[in-house]
Structure 1
């Protein structure tokens, strides 16, 4: 029997129940948001978030652009809160993502956007938060309390909360089916914990690591780099495998190791070729994701938009065990706290 372990592991293991609860309890809100988007037809979208939530927005950007052809940009909250600019967001879809809903700069930016005529949507876990009061639509993450400093289940729930909105707008029955089956796929992912622990053991002595991905998995790579810093004290950075040749590849001459996320969607073959070239050149590279032959192969979920959820969950198992291999407590990272309020 697997011991409970740190909170980070305990909360990551809740992912199947969180997604199942979210899909069931958000159905009415989802339908209302779909109707509003069909009526108001925003010409573009912007996201507002920080940290893990911003990395979830990277995944959502690819989802909205590839499925709905809706251009998406990331909005820096300080443009409004520090520089005083009131952006013209009339008609835009503004998506804010936050576990706590308490960061003043995100709250103030959403207030400004709604007052200016944007359709504002908040993906958040604390339903009575300031952000929930400012947004026109709220999609609850349904995580319950998240006590670990390192976000896990709230990040995963941020990846899934908007997918039931995208599916009908895109006319995508395969995504509907994949969402229904996703909790079971995440339960299968949890059976990989021993493999994740063993793979993590190979990285225990590293001080630097580069994380690569393409397309929908890029936001997962960003999140992975953050978690490696946060829980393991490893200096990690995320790069698109397409951009890696444009300068960052120079770091391999110093012996820096690589972790690559694989996929089986439209970006999968391009990522496979990039990783094969890197391995052939002698790079220390291991992979994680749904593609066959990955060092840690995650279950296929049936859709490109849901595969990153399983990949991220498998990575969380890896990261928590890597921290433990290094003699660290992933629940008590130095200098950090659960809620960071920026202005």
Structure 2
């Protein structure tokens, strides 16, 4: 591969180094945040984000709820910026995620939350951004410049930024030990690019695609559906593998193909059972993830909270090559800009 490859591929390949840098340079910041949360003991958390960052928040929701038993809700920024409501977030943990830190609605919501007594945390790449200035605590993503319109390394770094804090607060030794090894294990996912390219070839004429997952991988499925729309012009929708049978399954009768993320964690057996039923029913199903037998098997990183990072990285390789097969430039999706200003 060369520097003439799309930026989406080049930046995806940078992810292992980005995460190594993040873990190294954020160590003191993570310790300070963990100490503050241990002292303040928030009763619940809310997330504030849009687009890919909001999909990272779905992952963080499952991570915080499963590891810390901390309930997490997604906050719609327009509740404050358009409807004028000043929510009672006193004592809450408010987590805002943004690559640019420039979205006015996210910035204003964090300002409102902090003024109201919430503990505010920004996971942001642009350290001099308005969002970074408004939040009490900042965990930089450490991505460097991300030039492709489609976020890749910044999304992956958003998944990992809070993991050292979760490991500290939960006392999860296995997670604490797995994090330093994560960059090396992500490097092992990069040689999957040829397999990802081959998988992309079979969807080159697809108009629609269903993306399924459960639990910690669901935020990756949401991100996958967005990237398929954004870079490939495919109408893709993400569903929980549990919710899929409650109506959306009807779409299989129209011949829609399915891409399923498969984990090795507590959701693995239930997800595998759901996929087996779909296959028996004749679904055109391919799978991606660390589970043995997946169509595209990703490296097992040693912990349920880090495996989705490997899965997402492999998916980005797949999506970029799928766009190329369709004669599209994944770095220049029509009608889109790198930073979207919403209120």
State the TM-score, normalizing by the size of structure 2.
0.99
Moved over 6 A (4+): none
2-structure distance, mates of 1:191, 1:130: 38
* Structure 2 segments unaligned to the other structure (5+ residues): none
**Counterpart of 2:116?**
116
Q: CA deviation at 1:177?
A: 1.4
2-structure distance, mates of 1:250, 1:35: 49
**Counterpart of 1:253?**
253
**Counterpart of 2:215?**
215
**Counterpart of 2:205?**
205
**Counterpart of 1:137?**
137
Secondary structure of residue in 1 paired with 2:147:
coil
2-structure distance, mates of 1:278, 1:244: 10
1-structure distance, mates of 2:226, 2:177: 31
**Counterpart of 2:314?**
314
State whether residues 3 and 10 of structure 2, in contact with CA within 8 Å, keep that contact through their aligned partners in structure 1: no
**Counterpart of 2:226?**
226
**Counterpart of 2:284?**
284
| Corresponding pairs, count | 343
**Counterpart of 1:104?**
104
**Counterpart of 2:296?**
296
1-structure distance, mates of 2:103, 2:168: 31
Q: CA deviation at 1:89?
A: 0.2
- The CA RMSD measured in Å over matched residues stands at 0.7
2-structure distance, mates of 1:332, 1:157: 22
Q: Is 2:54 the counterpart of 1:57?
A: no
2-structure distance, mates of 1:277, 1:289: 18
Q: How is 1:45-194 mapped onto 2 (pairs within 5 angstroms)?
A: 45-194=45-194
2-structure distance, mates of 1:13, 1:324: 17
Q: CA deviation at 1:4?
A: 4.6
Q: CA deviation at 1:3?
A: 6.1
**Counterpart of 2:305?**
305
Q: How is 1:2-21 mapped onto 2 (pairs within 5 angstroms)?
A: 4-21=4-21
What do the CA deviations read for 1:106-155 (whole angstroms, capped 9, x no partner)? 00000000000000000000000000000000000000000000000000
Q: Is 2:275 the counterpart of 1:275?
A: yes
2-structure distance, mates of 1:212, 1:160: 22
Q: 1:100 to 1:307 in 2, by over 3 A?
A: same
Secondary structure of residue in 1 paired with 2:109:
helix
Secondary structure of residue in 2 paired with 1:191:
helix
Secondary structure of residue in 2 paired with 1:192:
helix
Secondary structure of residue in 2 paired with 1:36:
helix
Q: CA deviation at 1:168?
A: 1.1
State the TM-score, normalizing by the size of structure 1.
0.99
What do the CA deviations read for 1:312-341 (whole angstroms, capped 9, x no partner)? 000000000000000000000000000001
What do the CA deviations read for 1:42-74 (whole angstroms, capped 9, x no partner)? 000000000000000000000000000000000
2-structure distance, mates of 1:52, 1:305: 18
1-structure distance, mates of 2:74, 2:198: 36
* Structure 1 segments unaligned to the other structure (5+ residues): none
